[in-house]
Structure 1
């Protein structure tokens, strides 16, 4: 089987999604996120909360509607967290509440968090304090606020869970890899309940400057709502976003035994490495195709079973071409409908895979694929089926979600009805 996967066959115990929580630019409940995706309008706007007058890029997708989950993290405690950990803790606790707060032995409960850059807002702020005031001005909590594992630590402490509390750091594949690691924990019997997801806050001056100088982000500062346009011939880069997404995962038999609602199953997962370049994917999409094919096989399915794909769809020229090539390799002429959530909520980096998995679950449950915002003309030669303009009805069935990151990290996850 191509790529590393959670198991070698579909004989392992099925794993159910029993809770979902989000903090996103499209809203801070799964329902609000779904409405935003179906509306097909980008949430990108000029960033006015920070000084970007000297920057090449001045747009992004900020979290909206945080009040929906803000009470889950007391304001005093939130001030002691970097925004990425605040978002992650709030989304994880919302998912835990949504799952009915499953009773579990603390040592049998685990947390797996995807995160790419850690506490950049705190790092930027404290670096400025150091520059202007010297060492004495630096917050003593800075090391604890910036560490990438801060969200996993906060979540486990608030729930009193003493099982594994891991952080997956594979850039834009981190959230999907966190779900994949959770799947393996459950299927190998090393945990009974796992909170898995990702969180990120990258809308800081230094981070935006770096991505701008890398020429990875769109420069449409005068029309931000049109900037993110995956697979479109006129795309010029992604739009930075922020947020978090978490799911509660349990073995299906355990979920049914306690009478839990199930949103669907995490049925398959695979990960690969391009072993090619730090910033550029393989042009032929071979690593991405291997991850997709591996996840489908891991679920005990064939390509024809997949009803729709939530693409990585960054809106960068090379990544979109590579992913389109991979989709052609895996699905051939029988291309499933493709949507790209980043067109609406921006690129959430380490949180993207988890939030987009939740979007794929919602699409599966509603039997509808949201449109890709701003997609007007497919780049010639791609030959994939990008949904745009309006949501498209589809039958109920398995969905594939893709996450591909800097460094050549590829992760794909299959979800299916319970």
Structure 2
């Protein structure tokens, strides 16, 4: 069976450094930090009092009041990014076979604020159950693709992937595979997350996973820096339109890049810590390269998972050197989490978009907030510290790794017809 080609024809983003694709990309290449003191609740008693929140977000700008009250923030974010991606793609829903267009979405947690608020309200009451009838439909992680499909009447495969921080990369991989196997013509795919709330900050603080650099939030996310001490929680969404090549060409679509390969693996090591030698990361990158039928020298840029944690950054760096050998020194490597924070289940989508735009524009976004070299990292590796770099990017590899040892990678290359 000859596999179909898969291309990217639309993008949408709602991030801590920009509320649409253009703003997001401008923020990335200019090295903008999205971190600031938390505004969504009083965080004064929390160990971490800052996050990468969305800026100037008002649901009334996007939804009727009646509608947005039925939607958890993560579903709101999903619908907004999906809408931008659909408009960007130019797909006319009246001229396609809706039975062959689906939605596969990633969310690591889903409606955490809805769950928290309903439980808080119950705990404050007299024990009489008075739950909102929209409690469950707002909370469940699979509801975002359900809403997206209903908005556009897309009746193809529809589900959510949940693999912690790898969730939306897994969603992209599933959409890619469905299309190349001939089971669908197109997908809205990506991911969203909205965990900047008491439960999210408090829970990750309990794990000692978050930076506590409350005196300097903007520089708190420091991937590959000696002073890194935890990730910065982010929120938002990213959406991609993946389309079968012939389907896209037939309607005259613009094409950002081609999806050329993907990989998955498990660390099988620890519930939160990566394999110390980066074994899972090594395997997932090798699997992606094998799937793409590419050599290591075909890759120009790696958008790394790079969360700014003491263990994770070292493990990923070791894996890159093992996979790419001497070619590792020809790569640009960067962690865009240094700017956006860690969007959990949405991380893979927004970072895939960064990778695609790097391929499209031949610019590599930087890893900001680098102040002090860490002897754990090979100084000959180019982590694209502090400033974007122009270079030809024919192919980019995007890595995302999740709690539980879930690893997922996708490769995007220039579209050459």
What's the TM-score, normalizing by structure 1? 0.95
Question: Residue 260 of structure 2 aligns to a residue in which SS?
Answer: strand
Which residues of 2 match residues 163-312 of structure 1 at below 5 A? 163-312=156-305
Q: Deviations over 1:61-95 (max 9, x none)?
A: 0112547x975543421221000010011111211
Q: Aligned partners of 1:417, 1:48: CA distance in 2, in Å?
A: 40
Q: Aligned partners of 1:378, 1:202: CA distance in 2, in Å?
A: 31
Alpha carbons 1:72, 1:94 under 8 Å: kept: no
Structure 1: runs of 5+ lacking an equivalent: 1-6
Shift in alpha-carbon separation, 1:135–1:16, aligned structure 2, 3 A: farther
Q: Does 1:25 align with 2:32?
A: no
Q: Aligned partners of 1:381, 1:122: CA distance in 2, in Å?
A: 41
Bigger drift between 109-118 and 288-297 goes to 288-297
Question: Residue 175 of structure 1 aligns to a residue in which SS?
Answer: helix
From 56, 65, 68, the equivalent of 1:78 is 68
Q: Deviations over 1:363-389 (max 9, x none)?
A: 111111111110223321322320012
Quote the residue 2:120 is aligned against.
128
Alpha carbons 2:4, 2:181 under 8 Å: kept: no
The CA deviation at 1:137 is 3.6
Q: Aligned partners of 1:378, 1:268: CA distance in 2, in Å?
A: 33
What's the TM-score, normalizing by structure 2? 0.95
Quote the residue 2:4 is aligned against.
13
Q: Aligned partners of 1:364, 1:42: CA distance in 2, in Å?
A: 22
Alpha carbons 2:193, 2:346 under 8 Å: kept: yes
The CA deviation at 1:256 is 0.8
Q: How many residues align?
A: 408
Quote the residue 1:364 is aligned against.
359
Quote the residue 1:3 is aligned against.
none
Alpha carbons 2:368, 2:387 under 8 Å: kept: no
The CA deviation at 1:417 is 0.9
Quote the residue 1:408 is aligned against.
405
Which residues of 2 match residues 315-326 of structure 1 at below 5 A? 315-326=308-319
Which residues of 2 match residues 85-96 of structure 1 at below 5 A? 85-96=75-86
Q: Does 1:53 align with 2:50?
A: no
Q: Aligned partners of 1:313, 1:51: CA distance in 2, in Å?
A: 29
Structure 2: runs of 5+ lacking an equivalent: none
From 350, 365, 387, the equivalent of 1:355 is 350
Q: Aligned partners of 1:85, 1:45: CA distance in 2, in Å?
A: 23
Alpha carbons 1:27, 1:65 under 8 Å: kept: no
